[in-house]
Structure formats: structure tokens, C-alpha cells
């Protein structure tokens, strides 16, 4: 920091001292269609949720008549836009001329402060705001916020360093995400190849032929509590049960009916192309699943539970589901139709060999899926650390924030 400042003092000023103007906004009447879908970009707080410094497009547009007949104002390209409601302190720089609503303020800065520097500084501020439903700060309080004003060359160098960090973090995140996607595609490809057999090469049977009947719970006969496996209980990311709720006969939802046992495979028949499925382990044996699941219990003298699991993870099963589901708003497939799906049934020894290979692939993909997000999070924390370090300046007295 001393090298950046080169001995220069850092003055602290209220935001109001370093702006030329502080402009509010408004919303044209929604009742008048002639005010909307015009040529003028019109920003709200949601439009500030973008990467980078600049806001260059908005979700809504207004007409010149709508702008004229409302309290909205046009903010010039290069001015700063800051939220005073909903997400107080969220800031971007206008990359184009645009109008703003009443939850935003447009700030025209004096030459002594860089818009990018101010934008970075606001990223480390925590503005509490007031209000129980919608958090807000007043325009007056906004102008009281104390801002460090290092010399412009120092501001520009800080911005350059942080821009470089941001670019590196973004590149790394993109690379890691691309790597994860590629590994998943590779895994899916090899899985589908290993599960592919020609007709006549092995015996083919329906799921119904290689699974056993399952039972529903009789709530009138039990006073025990159970963990309820709802449709949202199974993660689509890792095909594991991540959360359940405790239920009894008193509070059980009507869909809480299906008893599951260890090594059952459950497949969600509502929105089935999402392929929400899992293999029941010891922890959830004897619990209750939603009727939104088809429960597949293997005839273990013919088929491995994991063979069923991998087969219904395949692209062939997904295509089958797409062709046999019904309903547009809530597409679904019946248990009976699921059990009509034909799958290859090689000898158990061959099933075991292929399952062992797929288990290794699955473990590798899972470790990557867990490790890459952690790496991304680590890089983000590293960036935030250096950002705060570069934007921390000593001051004698803390101003209001």
C-alpha cells in the first residue's frame, strides 16, 4: 500500500463532497401501455446483479413519453448508479444512458474520484439500511458515507490490480466449470457404452420382470415416527438423499406411503426427465418415500440393485421416459410404464464387473464435483482478501455507514 501511495496522504470525505449531483428515479404508470417497451433502458435494482463494473442493458424499457410523465430521470453514461432500497449500496457504472426507478440513485462524480474505484469500495461496505420488510437508506444518509480518496494514480493502480484479480478469478471459475462439465460428459459416455448390448447378445427383460413387489405403510397400524423422503429430498447433483422430515400418522402427508428397504432404487416419476433417483442405503432403510417415486426392488438372483440404478441413469432410459410421460404442466410417468422399460440382463458376474468400473467412474466424478466448487470458493475468498487489503486505509475517525 505504501508503494501505491508513494507517501501521499489519504483524505476521507463524505460521499456528498465528491459528487456533482445525486439524482433520483421513478416508475412510469404501469396502467399506460404507451409508457412501456420503448427505446430507453429503464433500470431497477435487479439490473445491478451482473458481473463487471458496467450496466449496459436492462430488462425493461420505457418510452420518451413515459420518462417525461414520471419521476424517472435519465442517467448519463459514466455516472454511478447505486441502490438505496432492497440491496442498499449495490453499485454499478452506467455503460449507456439509461433511466432509473425510485430504488436507485444516479451519482455524477467529481474528477477527484474514479467511478471504478468507488464501485470497488462499495463492494466491501456493509450498509444495514432500515425497515423490516424492505431495507433502505435515505439519499441524505448515502451522501454521509465516508470514502477514502487516495491520489488518482493510486486509485487507478488499485483498480488495475483488482480488475486483473477479477479477470483471473473469472477465468479460473470458467475453466473449472468447463472441466467439471467435460468430466461428467465423459462419465456419461462411458456409462452408456458399458451398458450397451446388441439384441441377442444378452437377455433383455422389463424392469417389472426383474423387480419385486413393494409395500405401502399402514398408518392406522403404527405409532412410530419415520423419515419422509419427499421429491425434493434427493439431490440431482449427487443422487443422494440430502434432507428429510420426521413424520408420524398424525402429520404424514397423503403422499407419504411407500416403504423402502436397503438397496431399493427410487426414481421420481413426476418431472421424470430430471432423472431424480437414488439407491437407498442403510441409513434410510425402513423409511417412507413419496408416492411420487417408483420403488424398484431387485430380484437379486437375477439383477444387481446397482445395475438397475445405472441403467435408469442412462440416456436410453431418459429417452424412454420422454416418449412415455404425459401432461404438460406437471409431466409424469406411471410406475407401470416405468416397469415396462426393457434393459439388458447379462450374467451376474458381468454385471458385477461393469458395476465396479462404473463405481470407480462415479467416485472420480463425485470427487471432482466436490473439489472444484471448493477450489472456486477458495479463489473467490482469496480475491476478496486482497480487495479488502487494497481498499483499507487508516483514518482517525469512522464516519457513518
Residue 401 has pLDDT above 70, yes or no: no
Q: pLDDT of 174-212, one tens digit each?
A: 888 888 888 888 888 888 898 888 777 899 999 999 999
Q: What is the DSSP code string of 73-132? A: EEE-TT-EEEE-BSSTT-EEEESS-EEE-TTEEEEEEPTTS-HHHHHHHHHH-----B-S
Domain 13-149 indexed as CATH 3.60.21.10: no
* Residues 45 and 104: beta-carbon distance below 8 Å: yes
Q: Return the pLDDT at 129.
A: 67
Beta-carbon contacts of 366 under 8 Å, excluding residues fewer than 6 positions away, are: 238
Q: What is the pLDDT of residue 2?
A: 59
Domain 199-345 class? alpha beta
CATH value of 150-197+348-401 in 3.90.320, 2.60.40, 1.10.287, 1.20.1250: 1.10.287
**Three-class SS state of 380:** helix
Domain ranges (residues) in the chain: 13-149, 150-197+348-401, 199-345
Rounded to 5°, the CA angle 331-337-340 comes to 145
Give residue 68's pLDDT band: very low, low, confident or very high (50, 70, 90).
very high
Q: State the first-to-last Cα distance of the chain, in angstroms, to the nearest integer.
A: 23
pTM surpassing 0.75? no
With a cut of 50, say whether residue 387 has pLDDT above it.
yes
Question: pLDDT-derived band of residue 6, with 50, 70 and 90 as boundaries?
Answer: low
Assess whether pLDDT exceeds 90 at residue 136: no
Q: ∠ CA(293), CA(242), CA(280), 5° rounding?
A: 50
Give the residue-averaged pLDDT of 297-317: 95
> What is the spatial distance between Cα 311 and Cα 317, in angstroms, rounded to a whole number?
7
Q: Are strands 288-290 and 226-229 parallel, antiparallel or unpaired?
A: parallel
- 347 or 328: whose pLDDT is higher? 347
pLDDT mean over 376-397 = 79
Average pLDDT over residues 319-341: 93
Burial of 230 (C-beta count, 10 Å sphere; 0-12/13-18/19+): buried
Sign of the dihedral defined by the CA atoms of residues 125, 131, 134, 139, in that order: negative
Same fold, 13-149 and 199-345: yes
What is the structure's pLDDT at 51?
86
Residue pair 75/23 in contact by the 8 Å Cβ criterion: yes
Task: Name the residue among 90, 164, 166 with its Cα closest to residue 122.
Answer: 90
Task: State how far the Cα of 19 lies from the Cα of 266, in Å rounded to an integer.
Answer: 61
Q: Which of 120-124, 271-275, 314-318, 349-353 is the least confident region?
A: 271-275
Contact between 264 and 284 under an 8 Å Cβ cutoff? The reply is no
Summarize pLDDT for 151-178 with one digit per residue, the tens: 999 999 999 999 998 888 888 888 888 8
Amino acid at each position: 500500500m505504501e508503494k501505491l501511495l508513494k507517501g501521499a496522504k489519504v483524505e476521507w470525505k463524505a460521499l456528498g463532497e465528491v459528487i456533482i449531483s445525486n439524482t433520483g428515479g421513478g416508475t412510469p404508470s404501469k396502467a399506460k401501455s404507451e409508457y412501456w417497451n420503448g427505446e430507453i433502458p429503464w433500470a431497477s435494482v435487479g439490473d445491478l446483479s451482473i458481473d463487471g463494473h458496467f450496466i449496459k442493458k436492462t430488462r425493461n424499457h420505457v418510452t420518451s413519453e413515459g420518462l417525461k410523465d414520471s419521476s424517472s430521470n435519465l442517467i448519463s453514461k459514466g455516472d454511478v448508479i447505486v441502490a438505496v432500497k432492497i440491496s442498499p449500496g449495490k453499485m454499478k457504472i452506467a455503460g449507456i444512458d439509461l433511466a432509473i426507478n425510485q430504488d436507485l440513485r444516479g451519482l455524477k462524480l467529481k474528477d477527484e474520484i474514479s467511478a471504478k474505484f468507488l464501485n470497488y469500495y462499495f463492494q466491501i461496505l456493509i450498509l444495514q439500511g432500515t425497515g423490516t420488510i424492505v431495507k433502505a437508506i435515505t439519499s441524505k444518509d448515502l451522501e454521509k458515507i465516508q470514502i477514502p480518496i487516495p491520489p488518482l494514480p493510486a486509485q487507478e493502480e488499485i483498480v488495475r490490480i483488482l480488475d486483473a484479480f477479477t479477470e483471473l478469478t473469472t477465468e479460473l471459475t470458467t475453466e473449472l466449470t468447463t472441466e467439471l462439465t467435460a468430466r461428467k460428459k465423459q462419465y456419461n459416455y462411458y456409462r452408456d457404452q458399458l451398458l450397451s448390448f446388441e439384441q441377442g447378445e444378452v437377455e433383455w427383460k422389463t424392469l417389472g420382470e426383474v423387480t419385486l413387489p413393494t409395500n405401502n405403510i399402514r398408518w392406522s397400524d403404527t405409532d412410530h415416527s419415520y423419515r419422509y423422503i419427499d421429491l425434493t429430498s434427493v439431490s440431482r447433483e449427487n443422487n443422494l438423499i440430502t434432507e428429510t422430515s420426521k413424520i408420524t400418522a398424525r402429520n404424514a402427508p397423503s403422499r407419504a406411503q411407500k416403504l423402502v428397504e436397503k438397496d431399493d432404487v427410487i426414481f421420481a416419476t413426476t418431472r421424470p426427465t430430471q432423472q431424480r433417483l437414488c439407491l437407498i442405503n442403510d441409513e434410510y432403510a425402513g423409511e417412507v418415500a413419496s408416492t411420487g417415486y417408483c420403488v424398484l426392488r431387485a430380484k437379486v438372483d437375477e439383477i444387481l440393485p446397482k445395475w438397475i440404478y445405472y441403467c435408469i441413469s442412462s440416456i436410453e432410459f431418459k429417452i424412454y421416459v420422454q416418449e412415455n410421460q404425459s401432461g404438460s404442466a406437471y409431466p409424469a410417468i406411471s410406475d407401470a410404464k416405468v416397469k415396462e422399460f426393457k434393459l439388458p440382463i447379462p450374467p451376474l458376474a458381468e454385471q458385477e464387473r461393469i458395476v465396479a468400473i462404473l463405481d470407480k467412474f462415479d467416485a472420480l466424478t463425485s470427487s471432482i464435483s466436490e473439489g472444484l466448487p471448493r477450489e472456486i470458493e477458495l479463489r473467490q475468498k482469496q480475491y476478496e482478501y486482497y480487495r479488502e487489503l487494497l481498499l483499507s486505509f487508516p483514518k482517525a475517525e469512522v464516519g457513518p455507514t
